[in-house]
Structure 1
Amino acid sequence: MERSVHSTGRTSLPPPRPQPAPAPGRGVCMMSTSWRDKQDPNLVNFIAAFLAANSYRLNFLLISPDFIFNNGGLSVAFIFETSWDSENAAAVFSRVNTLKRQFKNLYVVVAVPKVEQIESFNRSYFQYNMELGCPTFVPVNDPEMGFEKMLKIAHARGVCKQQDITSTMRNEREQAVQSMDAFLHVLTSIPGIDDHDATMLSQAIGSIEAIAKASVGFILENTDLSTDKAKTVVTFFRDPQYYLSPKIN
C-alpha cells in the first residue's frame, strides 16, 4: 500500500485495522499465590495457557484452597496435590477436613504417577477416616492431567447450575400461568364477568381473598366494571344463598 503525502510534507499512514473483539470468557479461575510459588514455573505457564485457550480469566489471589473456579454463577474449590508424598499425608487430610466445612463444592485432585504412591494414598485415605465422596478425591497420572480434570469438573458443574436455574425459572413460569388460569376461571364463573373483567379485578385488587372483601365502591373506584357487575361480584362472595344456588353462564 502506498503512503500518501499531504501538502504539509508529512507522510500519512493508513488507519489501523480494527481488532476483533475478544471472545466472552467462560469463567474465572483464581489460583492461590502460595500454591503458585511452590510449583514448577512450567506447570504454572501450562495452566495459564490452558485457561486462555478455553476463554477463562486467571487471577492470582490469597485464597485458602489452591484453586477456585467460578463458572455459570457457581464456585468450585480445589485442593491440588501435584505429587503425592506420604510424609505430608497428615497435613493434607487435616486441610481437607478444614476446607470441606468452608466450601460446599470442594474437590481434591492428587497426582499419583507411581504404583507405590497410589498404594500409599489409598492407605492414608482410610487411615484418616475420610468419608467417601465428602469431598470427592480425583487421582490422576500427572499434574497436567489433573488441571484438565479440574477445568472439566468446574465447567460441568457450572453448566448443571445454569440448567437448574433455567429449569427452575421455566417451572415457576408454568406455575404462575397455571395459577393465573385458575384465578381467571374462578372469577369468570361469576355471572356476567368476562376475561377482561377478571383481569381488571386481578390487576387492580389482587388475590381472590382481597376481591371477596372489596366493597362495591372500592371496585368501582379501581376498575372499569359497571355498577351492576360490581354488585354481582360482592353478592357472589358474600351471599350464601347466591353463591350456593345453581347458575347457568
Structure 2
Amino acid sequence: MAHQKSSYSDPTAQNTSHFENSGGAGVCMMSSTWRDEQHPSFINFISSFLSANSFRLNFVRIAPDLIFNCGGLSISFIFATNWNCDNIEPVFSRVKKLKEQFAHLYVVVSLPTRDQNDSFVRSYFKYGMELGRPTFVPVQDIEMGFEKIVKIAHSRGGIVLLYEARFSFHSGSLLYTRYSAACKQRDAISKMKTERRQSVQGMDIFLGVITSIPSIDYHDANALNQAIGSIEAIAKASKEYILENTDLSADKAEMIVRFFRDPKFYLNPKIN
C-alpha cells in the first residue's frame, strides 16, 4: 500500500477555493509519511469526509499521523490502521514518545478481528499504558476510526466551533446538525451542573434551618426532608403526621410544631 499517492489527486487542491470562501470548521494536517502507507481509496474517503465537514486538508511532515486545529486548539492523533500482532512494540514506543510532546493526544486503533483485539488488550498492560494518558479508541474498521477522530476534534474544539457553524450553514446541513447536537449536549450538561449546585445550596439552607430547632440533629433533618419535604411543608405538618411518617420521638415532633406555630416559643431567645 505504500507509496501509492500518484494514483489520486491532491484533495487540498480540489477544495482550496471553497475553504478560502467559507473559512471552514478547521484544518486537518495529515502526515505525508502516514498518507503514503494507506490505500488511495481510504485517503479519498478521508478527503470527502473532511470536505463534507468543512475541514481543510493539508499534507505535511509531522510526528503524529494527524493534527486537527479547531478554534485555536490542536488535537493530535496516532491512527494505527493495520494492527500487526507480531510487531507491536513500535506502536507503543511511539505513543510513549508523543504523549510527552503533545498535550491533546488520542490513539485510534483499528481492530477488526478478535485476535487483534486480544493482542491489543494484552499489549496495553504489557507496555504499562496509563488509563487516559493518552486515550485509546479501539474501532472495528478504519472508516469508523476516522469518523471518531473527526467527532473528537469537533467536541474538543468547543464553543468556538459551535459559533462558526452558524455562519457556515451553506456548507452542509449535516455539519450544522452535528454542531447543534453538540451545543445542546453542552447546554444540557451546563444546566445539570447549575441545578446540582442549586440543589446542594438549597439542602445546606434546609439543614441549617431545621437543625436550628432545639434537639433536632442532621439525621432528624434528613428524615423530615425525605418524608415531608420542604421547610414550608414541615411547618404545616401536625405532630401526628410527623410521628406517622418519620422515626422522630414524640418530644421532637412536639418541638418542631412549637417551633413553627407557637409565637411564645419562636420569638423567645434560645440558649442551648
Q: Please indicate the TM-score interval, normalised by the length of the shorter structure.
A: 0.5 to 0.7
- C-alpha displacement of 1:22: 3.9
- C-alpha displacement of 1:84: 1.2
- C-alpha displacement of 1:161: 6.9
Structure with bigger gyration radius:
1
Match of 1:38 in 2: 37
Q: Any residues of structure 2 matched to 1:149-228 within 5 Å, and which?
A: 149-159=148-158
Unaligned runs of 5+ in 1: 1-18, 164-249
Q: Distance in 2 between matches of 1:161 and 1:92?
A: 33
Conserved? CA contact 2:67–2:74, under 8 Å: yes
C-alpha RMSD of the superposition: 1.9
Match of 1:137 in 2: 136
Aligned length: 145
Match of 2:77 in 1: 78
- C-alpha displacement of 1:43: 0.4
Q: Distance in 2 between matches of 1:63 and 1:161?
A: 25
- C-alpha displacement of 1:85: 1.1
DSSP-derived class of the 2:108 partner: strand
State the Cα deviation string for residues 212-239 of structure 1 (Å, max 9, x = none).
xxxxxxxxxxxxxxxxxxxxxxxxxxxx
Q: Distance in 1 between matches of 2:102 and 2:121?
A: 24
State the Cα deviation string for residues 184-206 of structure 1 (Å, max 9, x = none).
xxxxxxxxxxxxxxxxxxxxxxx
Match of 1:198 in 2: none
- C-alpha displacement of 1:147: 0.4
- C-alpha displacement of 1:141: 0.7
Q: Distance in 1 between matches of 2:37 and 2:82?
A: 12
Match of 2:3 in 1: none
DSSP-derived class of the 2:100 partner: coil
TM-score, length basis structure 2 = 0.51
Q: Distance in 2 between matches of 1:161 and 1:134?
A: 25
State the Cα deviation string for residues 131-154 of structure 1 (Å, max 9, x = none).
111000000010000000000001
- C-alpha displacement of 1:89: 1.0
* Overall identity of the aligned pairs, in %: 59
Match of 2:119 in 1: 120
Structure 1 residues 91 and 161: CA distance shift in structure 2, 3 A: farther
Match of 1:68 in 2: 67
- C-alpha displacement of 1:159: 1.1
1:47 aligns to 2:46 (yes or no): yes
Unaligned runs of 5+ in 2: 1-16, 163-272
Structure with more of its chain in helix, by fraction: 2
